[in-house]
Structure 1
Amino acid sequence: MRFPRRDEARLKVAREAALLLYTSQEKEYRQAKTKAARTLRLKVYPSNREVAEELDRLAEEMEGKARADRLIKMRKEALRVMEALREFNPILIGSVWRGTAHRNSDVDIEVYAEDPKVVTEKLRKKGFKVLRSERKSTGRDEDEGSPHIYLWSEGGFEVELTIRPPEMQGKRRRCEVYGDYIVGLDVERLRKVLEEDPLRRFLPK
Protein backbone atom coordinates (compact mmCIF):
# COMPACT_ATOMS: atom_id res chain seq x y z
CA MET A 1 0.00 0.00 0.00
CA ARG A 2 1.36 3.39 -1.00
CA PHE A 3 1.23 6.55 1.09
CA PRO A 4 1.53 9.44 -1.40
CA ARG A 5 1.82 12.15 1.24
CA ARG A 6 4.57 10.33 3.08
CA ASP A 7 6.39 9.65 -0.19
CA GLU A 8 6.11 13.34 -1.06
CA ALA A 9 7.47 14.31 2.34
CA ARG A 10 10.43 11.93 1.95
CA LEU A 11 11.18 13.46 -1.43
CA LYS A 12 11.09 16.98 0.02
CA VAL A 13 13.49 16.05 2.80
CA ALA A 14 15.76 14.22 0.35
CA ARG A 15 15.83 17.24 -1.94
CA GLU A 16 16.57 19.64 0.91
CA ALA A 17 19.30 17.36 2.26
CA ALA A 18 20.79 17.11 -1.23
CA LEU A 19 20.88 20.90 -1.45
CA LEU A 20 22.70 21.12 1.88
CA LEU A 21 25.29 18.64 0.64
CA TYR A 22 25.62 20.27 -2.77
CA THR A 23 26.23 23.71 -1.28
CA SER A 24 28.66 22.24 1.28
CA GLN A 25 26.54 23.39 4.21
CA GLU A 26 26.74 19.81 5.43
CA LYS A 27 29.30 17.11 4.64
CA GLU A 28 27.65 13.98 6.02
CA TYR A 29 24.36 12.46 4.90
CA ARG A 30 23.05 11.89 8.41
CA GLN A 31 23.48 15.50 9.48
CA ALA A 32 22.06 16.74 6.18
CA LYS A 33 18.91 14.64 6.58
CA THR A 34 18.42 15.70 10.19
CA LYS A 35 18.81 19.38 9.36
CA ALA A 36 16.56 19.09 6.29
CA ALA A 37 13.77 17.40 8.26
CA ARG A 38 14.03 20.02 10.99
CA THR A 39 13.99 22.89 8.49
CA LEU A 40 10.90 21.49 6.73
CA ARG A 41 9.27 20.48 10.03
CA LEU A 42 8.78 16.94 8.81
CA LYS A 43 9.35 13.72 10.73
CA VAL A 44 10.44 11.52 7.86
CA TYR A 45 13.95 10.48 6.94
CA PRO A 46 14.80 9.30 3.42
CA SER A 47 17.51 6.73 2.85
CA ASN A 48 21.03 7.82 1.96
CA ARG A 49 20.44 6.47 -1.52
CA GLU A 50 17.34 8.63 -1.97
CA VAL A 51 19.36 11.69 -0.98
CA ALA A 52 22.18 10.66 -3.34
CA GLU A 53 19.75 10.34 -6.23
CA GLU A 54 18.38 13.82 -5.54
CA LEU A 55 21.92 15.17 -5.25
CA ASP A 56 22.70 13.63 -8.64
CA ARG A 57 19.61 15.24 -10.20
CA LEU A 58 20.39 18.59 -8.63
CA ALA A 59 23.97 18.55 -9.91
CA GLU A 60 22.75 17.69 -13.40
CA GLU A 61 20.27 20.59 -13.34
CA MET A 62 22.85 23.07 -12.08
CA GLU A 63 25.89 22.04 -14.10
CA GLY A 64 24.75 20.57 -17.40
CA LYS A 65 27.48 19.55 -19.86
CA ALA A 66 30.23 21.05 -17.72
CA ARG A 67 29.63 18.27 -15.24
CA ALA A 68 30.50 15.55 -17.74
CA ASP A 69 33.62 17.40 -18.85
CA ARG A 70 34.71 17.80 -15.24
CA LEU A 71 34.20 14.11 -14.49
CA ILE A 72 36.52 13.11 -17.32
CA LYS A 73 39.16 15.57 -16.11
CA MET A 74 38.85 14.29 -12.54
CA ARG A 75 39.24 10.70 -13.67
CA LYS A 76 42.32 11.64 -15.68
CA GLU A 77 43.80 13.40 -12.66
CA ALA A 78 43.02 10.36 -10.53
CA LEU A 79 44.87 8.16 -12.99
CA ARG A 80 47.90 10.44 -12.88
CA VAL A 81 48.04 10.26 -9.09
CA MET A 82 47.42 6.52 -9.05
CA GLU A 83 50.16 5.82 -11.57
CA ALA A 84 52.58 7.72 -9.35
CA LEU A 85 51.51 5.58 -6.39
CA ARG A 86 51.22 2.27 -8.22
CA GLU A 87 53.40 0.45 -5.68
CA PHE A 88 50.74 1.16 -3.04
CA ASN A 89 47.95 -0.52 -5.05
CA PRO A 90 45.69 2.56 -5.35
CA ILE A 91 41.94 2.23 -5.85
CA LEU A 92 39.68 5.06 -7.04
CA ILE A 93 36.50 5.20 -4.96
CA GLY A 94 33.81 7.79 -4.15
CA SER A 95 31.82 9.93 -6.56
CA VAL A 96 34.56 10.06 -9.21
CA TRP A 97 34.50 6.26 -9.38
CA ARG A 98 30.69 6.20 -9.31
CA GLY A 99 30.42 8.85 -12.01
CA THR A 100 28.28 11.15 -9.86
CA ALA A 101 30.85 13.82 -9.03
CA HIS A 102 29.71 17.44 -8.97
CA ARG A 103 31.51 20.78 -8.79
CA ASN A 104 32.27 20.48 -5.06
CA SER A 105 33.47 16.88 -5.18
CA ASP A 106 37.02 15.82 -4.54
CA VAL A 107 38.90 12.78 -5.83
CA ASP A 108 38.92 9.90 -3.34
CA ILE A 109 41.66 7.29 -3.59
CA GLU A 110 42.61 4.48 -1.23
CA VAL A 111 46.19 3.27 -1.00
CA TYR A 112 47.77 0.52 1.08
CA ALA A 113 50.90 1.21 3.10
CA GLU A 114 52.32 0.62 6.57
CA ASP A 115 53.68 4.14 6.88
CA PRO A 116 51.83 7.19 5.48
CA LYS A 117 55.09 9.16 5.46
CA VAL A 118 56.38 6.91 2.68
CA VAL A 119 53.33 7.83 0.59
CA THR A 120 53.82 11.54 1.30
CA GLU A 121 57.49 11.36 0.32
CA LYS A 122 56.60 9.57 -2.91
CA LEU A 123 54.05 12.23 -3.80
CA ARG A 124 56.49 15.06 -3.22
CA LYS A 125 59.20 13.29 -5.18
CA LYS A 126 56.74 13.01 -8.09
CA GLY A 127 56.04 16.74 -7.91
CA PHE A 128 52.61 16.74 -6.28
CA LYS A 129 51.62 19.56 -3.94
CA VAL A 130 50.73 17.99 -0.59
CA LEU A 131 48.37 20.26 1.33
CA ARG A 132 48.19 18.46 4.66
CA SER A 133 47.92 15.08 6.35
CA GLU A 134 45.79 14.08 9.31
CA ARG A 135 44.10 11.23 11.09
CA LYS A 136 40.36 11.53 11.32
CA SER A 137 37.62 9.44 12.83
CA THR A 138 34.36 8.87 10.97
CA GLY A 139 32.76 6.55 13.50
CA ARG A 140 33.18 3.61 11.13
CA ASP A 141 35.42 0.82 12.37
CA GLU A 142 37.36 0.47 9.13
CA ASP A 143 38.09 4.21 9.04
CA GLU A 144 38.87 4.69 12.73
CA GLY A 145 42.05 6.73 12.90
CA SER A 146 42.92 6.16 9.24
CA PRO A 147 45.61 8.56 7.99
CA HIS A 148 44.47 10.91 5.22
CA ILE A 149 46.68 12.87 2.86
CA TYR A 150 45.29 15.82 0.90
CA LEU A 151 46.92 17.15 -2.22
CA TRP A 152 46.18 19.61 -4.99
CA SER A 153 46.25 18.17 -8.48
CA GLU A 154 47.66 19.84 -11.57
CA GLY A 155 44.11 20.17 -12.93
CA GLY A 156 42.93 22.10 -9.87
CA PHE A 157 41.15 19.34 -7.95
CA GLU A 158 41.61 18.35 -4.34
CA VAL A 159 42.60 14.71 -3.93
CA GLU A 160 42.02 12.85 -0.67
CA LEU A 161 44.12 9.75 -0.10
CA THR A 162 43.06 7.31 2.61
CA ILE A 163 45.97 5.18 3.82
CA ARG A 164 44.95 1.67 4.83
CA PRO A 165 47.14 -1.14 6.19
CA PRO A 166 48.17 -3.69 3.53
CA GLU A 167 46.21 -6.49 5.24
CA MET A 168 42.97 -4.64 4.47
CA GLN A 169 43.51 -4.92 0.73
CA GLY A 170 40.72 -6.94 -0.84
CA LYS A 171 38.50 -6.68 2.24
CA ARG A 172 34.89 -6.16 1.16
CA ARG A 173 33.07 -3.15 2.58
CA ARG A 174 29.54 -1.96 1.98
CA CYS A 175 28.81 1.55 0.78
CA GLU A 176 26.82 3.55 3.33
CA VAL A 177 25.08 5.45 0.54
CA TYR A 178 24.12 2.83 -2.04
CA GLY A 179 24.31 -0.33 0.04
CA ASP A 180 26.41 -2.27 -2.45
CA TYR A 181 30.03 -3.34 -2.07
CA ILE A 182 32.71 -0.74 -2.75
CA VAL A 183 34.67 -2.08 -5.70
CA GLY A 184 36.37 0.99 -7.14
CA LEU A 185 38.85 1.08 -10.00
CA ASP A 186 42.52 0.18 -10.00
CA VAL A 187 44.99 1.74 -12.46
CA GLU A 188 44.32 -0.70 -15.31
CA ARG A 189 40.53 -0.59 -15.01
CA LEU A 190 40.46 3.19 -14.74
CA ARG A 191 42.62 3.52 -17.83
CA LYS A 192 40.28 1.18 -19.70
CA VAL A 193 37.23 3.19 -18.64
CA LEU A 194 38.85 6.40 -19.87
CA GLU A 195 39.69 4.79 -23.20
CA GLU A 196 36.35 3.07 -23.83
CA ASP A 197 33.62 4.87 -21.86
CA PRO A 198 34.94 7.85 -19.87
CA LEU A 199 31.51 8.79 -18.48
CA ARG A 200 30.59 5.28 -17.38
CA ARG A 201 28.69 5.05 -14.12
CA PHE A 202 29.06 2.42 -11.42
CA LEU A 203 25.73 2.42 -9.61
CA PRO A 204 23.62 -0.49 -8.32
CA LYS A 205 20.33 -1.15 -10.07
Structure 2
Amino acid sequence: MRTGKRELQRLIAYEAARILTELRSDNVTYACQKAAAKYGITKRQFLPTREEVESALREQQRLVRGERQTDTLRTLRLSALNAMQALIQFNPKLVGAVFDGTADSNSCVKLHLFADTPEDLLFTLSDLHIPWQEKQHRLQFSDGRKESVPCFIFNADGVGFELVVLPAKNPRNHPLDPLDNQPIQGASIKQLQQLVDTPG
Protein backbone atom coordinates (compact mmCIF):
# COMPACT_ATOMS: atom_id res chain seq x y z
CA MET A 1 0.00 0.00 0.00
CA ARG A 2 1.39 3.36 -0.99
CA THR A 3 1.79 6.00 1.68
CA GLY A 4 0.54 9.45 0.70
CA LYS A 5 2.65 12.58 1.00
CA ARG A 6 0.68 13.96 3.96
CA GLU A 7 0.89 10.65 5.83
CA LEU A 8 4.64 10.50 5.20
CA GLN A 9 5.08 14.02 6.51
CA ARG A 10 3.09 13.11 9.63
CA LEU A 11 5.18 9.97 10.21
CA ILE A 12 8.43 11.91 9.77
CA ALA A 13 7.20 14.67 12.08
CA TYR A 14 6.45 12.20 14.90
CA GLU A 15 9.72 10.34 14.37
CA ALA A 16 11.62 13.64 14.39
CA ALA A 17 9.87 14.59 17.64
CA ARG A 18 10.91 11.24 19.15
CA ILE A 19 14.52 11.85 18.07
CA LEU A 20 14.53 15.34 19.56
CA THR A 21 13.24 13.98 22.86
CA GLU A 22 15.69 11.06 22.88
CA LEU A 23 18.71 13.21 22.05
CA ARG A 24 17.54 16.07 24.29
CA SER A 25 18.14 18.35 21.34
CA ASP A 26 16.32 21.23 19.66
CA ASN A 27 17.94 20.78 16.24
CA VAL A 28 14.74 20.24 14.25
CA THR A 29 16.52 20.20 10.88
CA TYR A 30 18.84 17.36 11.93
CA ALA A 31 15.96 15.38 13.48
CA CYS A 32 13.87 15.72 10.30
CA GLN A 33 16.74 14.55 8.11
CA LYS A 34 17.39 11.57 10.39
CA ALA A 35 13.69 10.70 10.53
CA ALA A 36 13.34 11.01 6.75
CA ALA A 37 16.32 8.67 6.26
CA LYS A 38 14.54 6.03 8.36
CA TYR A 39 11.70 6.03 5.82
CA GLY A 40 14.04 6.22 2.82
CA ILE A 41 12.97 9.77 1.98
CA THR A 42 15.52 12.02 0.29
CA LYS A 43 13.32 14.69 -1.32
CA ARG A 44 12.84 17.90 0.62
CA GLN A 45 9.22 18.17 -0.53
CA PHE A 46 8.30 15.19 1.68
CA LEU A 47 9.68 16.74 4.85
CA PRO A 48 7.19 18.14 7.37
CA THR A 49 7.16 21.80 8.24
CA ARG A 50 8.77 23.06 11.44
CA GLU A 51 5.28 23.73 12.82
CA GLU A 52 4.27 20.10 12.24
CA VAL A 53 7.33 18.80 14.10
CA GLU A 54 6.79 21.26 16.94
CA SER A 55 3.14 20.22 17.20
CA ALA A 56 4.12 16.53 17.38
CA LEU A 57 6.78 17.33 19.98
CA ARG A 58 4.36 19.32 22.15
CA GLU A 59 1.87 16.43 21.98
CA GLN A 60 4.53 13.95 23.10
CA GLN A 61 5.64 16.26 25.90
CA ARG A 62 2.07 16.67 27.16
CA LEU A 63 1.63 12.90 27.29
CA VAL A 64 4.96 12.19 28.98
CA ARG A 65 5.56 15.22 31.18
CA GLY A 66 2.15 16.78 31.79
CA GLU A 67 2.18 19.74 34.16
CA ARG A 68 5.96 19.56 34.63
CA GLN A 69 6.36 20.63 31.02
CA THR A 70 4.18 23.71 31.52
CA ASP A 71 6.06 24.71 34.68
CA THR A 72 9.47 24.24 33.04
CA LEU A 73 8.49 26.30 30.00
CA ARG A 74 7.18 29.14 32.15
CA THR A 75 10.39 29.18 34.22
CA LEU A 76 12.54 29.35 31.09
CA ARG A 77 10.41 32.10 29.57
CA LEU A 78 10.68 34.16 32.75
CA SER A 79 14.47 33.73 32.65
CA ALA A 80 14.43 34.81 29.00
CA LEU A 81 12.32 37.84 29.85
CA ASN A 82 14.72 38.92 32.61
CA ALA A 83 17.70 38.57 30.27
CA MET A 84 15.98 40.47 27.47
CA GLN A 85 15.11 43.33 29.80
CA ALA A 86 18.77 43.50 30.91
CA LEU A 87 19.83 43.57 27.24
CA ILE A 88 17.04 45.81 25.99
CA GLN A 89 19.43 48.15 24.13
CA PHE A 90 20.16 45.32 21.67
CA ASN A 91 16.49 44.87 20.64
CA PRO A 92 16.51 41.22 21.76
CA LYS A 93 14.33 38.58 20.15
CA LEU A 94 13.64 35.19 21.75
CA VAL A 95 13.95 32.31 19.26
CA GLY A 96 14.11 28.53 19.43
CA ALA A 97 12.40 26.04 21.72
CA VAL A 98 11.68 28.46 24.58
CA PHE A 99 9.84 30.69 22.12
CA ASP A 100 7.88 27.98 20.28
CA GLY A 101 6.89 26.10 23.44
CA THR A 102 8.81 22.85 22.92
CA ALA A 103 11.52 23.57 25.51
CA ASP A 104 12.25 21.16 28.35
CA SER A 105 14.64 21.20 31.31
CA ASN A 106 17.60 20.60 28.97
CA SER A 107 16.82 23.56 26.72
CA CYS A 108 18.73 26.82 26.70
CA VAL A 109 17.38 30.31 26.11
CA LYS A 110 18.35 31.50 22.62
CA LEU A 111 18.32 35.21 21.87
CA HIS A 112 19.02 37.17 18.71
CA LEU A 113 20.58 40.53 19.54
CA PHE A 114 21.34 43.44 17.22
CA ALA A 115 24.55 45.41 17.71
CA ASP A 116 26.97 47.55 15.67
CA THR A 117 29.83 45.33 16.86
CA PRO A 118 30.04 42.21 19.07
CA GLU A 119 32.21 44.23 21.45
CA ASP A 120 29.17 46.35 22.34
CA LEU A 121 27.55 43.24 23.82
CA LEU A 122 30.76 42.12 25.53
CA PHE A 123 31.03 45.43 27.38
CA THR A 124 27.48 44.94 28.64
CA LEU A 125 28.11 41.34 29.71
CA SER A 126 31.20 42.51 31.59
CA ASP A 127 29.19 45.22 33.32
CA LEU A 128 26.68 42.55 34.36
CA HIS A 129 29.57 40.35 35.64
CA ILE A 130 28.61 37.50 33.32
CA PRO A 131 31.42 35.11 32.29
CA TRP A 132 30.95 33.92 28.72
CA GLN A 133 32.36 31.65 26.03
CA GLU A 134 32.34 32.48 22.34
CA LYS A 135 31.61 30.30 19.33
CA GLN A 136 30.60 30.94 15.74
CA HIS A 137 27.10 30.30 14.44
CA ARG A 138 26.64 29.93 10.67
CA LEU A 139 23.45 31.44 9.28
CA GLN A 140 21.90 32.07 5.90
CA PHE A 141 20.22 35.44 5.43
CA SER A 142 17.27 36.55 3.34
CA ASP A 143 19.56 38.34 0.88
CA GLY A 144 21.14 34.96 0.06
CA ARG A 145 24.34 35.57 2.00
CA LYS A 146 25.77 32.92 4.32
CA GLU A 147 27.84 34.16 7.19
CA SER A 148 29.32 33.04 10.50
CA VAL A 149 28.17 35.31 13.32
CA PRO A 150 29.40 35.41 16.92
CA CYS A 151 27.46 33.54 19.58
CA PHE A 152 28.11 34.03 23.29
CA ILE A 153 27.24 31.27 25.74
CA PHE A 154 26.82 31.43 29.50
CA ASN A 155 24.83 30.01 32.42
CA ALA A 156 22.84 32.02 34.95
CA ASP A 157 20.86 30.54 37.84
CA GLY A 158 21.02 27.09 36.27
CA VAL A 159 19.74 28.23 32.85
CA GLY A 160 21.87 28.14 29.70
CA PHE A 161 21.87 31.11 27.34
CA GLU A 162 22.99 31.51 23.73
CA LEU A 163 23.24 35.08 22.45
CA VAL A 164 23.63 35.41 18.68
CA VAL A 165 24.82 38.86 17.60
CA LEU A 166 23.36 40.14 14.33
CA PRO A 167 24.25 43.37 12.51
CA ALA A 168 22.15 46.32 13.67
CA LYS A 169 22.66 48.18 10.40
CA ASN A 170 20.32 45.96 8.38
CA PRO A 171 17.69 44.43 10.70
CA ARG A 172 15.40 43.55 7.80
CA ASN A 173 17.95 41.10 6.38
CA HIS A 174 16.54 38.22 8.40
CA PRO A 175 18.39 35.00 9.26
CA LEU A 176 16.60 32.01 7.72
CA ASP A 177 15.45 28.74 9.23
CA PRO A 178 17.54 25.97 7.57
CA LEU A 179 14.50 23.64 7.49
CA ASP A 180 12.25 25.77 5.27
CA ASN A 181 14.35 28.83 4.34
CA GLN A 182 11.80 31.12 5.98
CA PRO A 183 12.75 33.92 8.42
CA ILE A 184 13.40 32.57 11.91
CA GLN A 185 10.40 33.35 14.08
CA GLY A 186 10.76 34.92 17.49
CA ALA A 187 9.29 37.18 20.16
CA SER A 188 10.11 40.69 21.30
CA ILE A 189 10.00 41.61 25.00
CA LYS A 190 6.38 42.72 24.66
CA GLN A 191 5.37 39.57 22.80
CA LEU A 192 7.17 37.34 25.32
CA GLN A 193 5.45 39.13 28.19
CA GLN A 194 2.12 38.26 26.55
CA LEU A 195 3.17 34.59 26.27
CA VAL A 196 4.16 34.55 29.96
CA ASP A 197 0.87 36.20 30.97
CA THR A 198 -1.23 33.75 28.94
CA PRO A 199 -1.98 30.54 30.88
CA GLY A 200 -1.17 27.28 29.10
Shorter chain as normaliser: what TM range? 0.7 to 0.9
| C-alpha distance in structure 1 between counterparts of 2:166 and 2:140, whole Å | 16
Secondary structure of the residue aligned to 2:23 is coil
Match of 2:147?
144
Match of 1:14?
13
Match of 2:95?
93
Say whether 1:67 aligns with 2:69.
yes
The AA in structure 2 aligned to 1:100 is T
Structure 2 counterparts to residues 164-203 of structure 1, below 5 A: 164-171=166-173, 182=184, 184-194=186-196, 196-197=197-198, 199=200
| C-alpha distance in structure 2 between counterparts of 1:24 and 1:139, whole Å | 25
The AA in structure 1 aligned to 2:198 is D
Closer, same or farther: CA 198–166 of 1 in aligned 2, 3 Å: farther
The AA in structure 2 aligned to 1:5 is T
Contact 1:92 1:108 in 2 (8 A): yes
Structure 2 counterparts to residues 90-129 of structure 1, below 5 A: 90-129=92-131
Q: Which runs of 5+ in 1 are unaligned?
A: 200-205
Say whether 1:38 aligns with 2:40.
no
Secondary structure of the residue aligned to 1:161 is strand
Match of 1:79?
81
| C-alpha distance in structure 2 between counterparts of 1:80 and 1:14, whole Å | 33
Closer, same or farther: CA 72–186 of 1 in aligned 2, 3 Å: same
| C-alpha distance in structure 2 between counterparts of 1:138 and 1:192, whole Å | 28
Contact 1:72 1:198 in 2 (8 A): no
Identity of aligned pairs, percent?
A: 25
| C-alpha distance in structure 2 between counterparts of 1:16 and 1:166, whole Å | 38
User: Structure 2 length as normaliser, TM-score?
Assistant: 0.78
Contact 2:10 2:48 in 1 (8 A): no
Structure 2 counterparts to residues 158-169 of structure 1, below 5 A: 158-169=160-171
Q: Structure 1 residue aligned with 2:60, among 50, 58, 67?
A: 58
Contact 1:71 1:96 in 2 (8 A): yes
Secondary structure of the residue aligned to 2:111 is strand
Extract structure 1 runs of 4+ deviating beyond 6 A.
Answer: none
Q: Which runs of 5+ in 2 are unaligned?
A: none
Q: What is the CA-CA distance between 1:186 and the residue it aligns to?
A: 2.5
1:9-53 deviation per Cα after TM superposition (whole angstroms, max 9, x unaligned): 433222212211222376543432332233345667331332222
| C-alpha distance in structure 1 between counterparts of 2:160 and 2:113, whole Å | 16
The AA in structure 2 aligned to 1:137 is R
The AA in structure 2 aligned to 1:55 is L
Q: What is the CA-CA distance between 1:73 and the residue it aligns to?
A: 0.9
| C-alpha distance in structure 1 between counterparts of 2:175 and 2:148, whole Å | 17
Contact 2:14 2:53 in 1 (8 A): yes
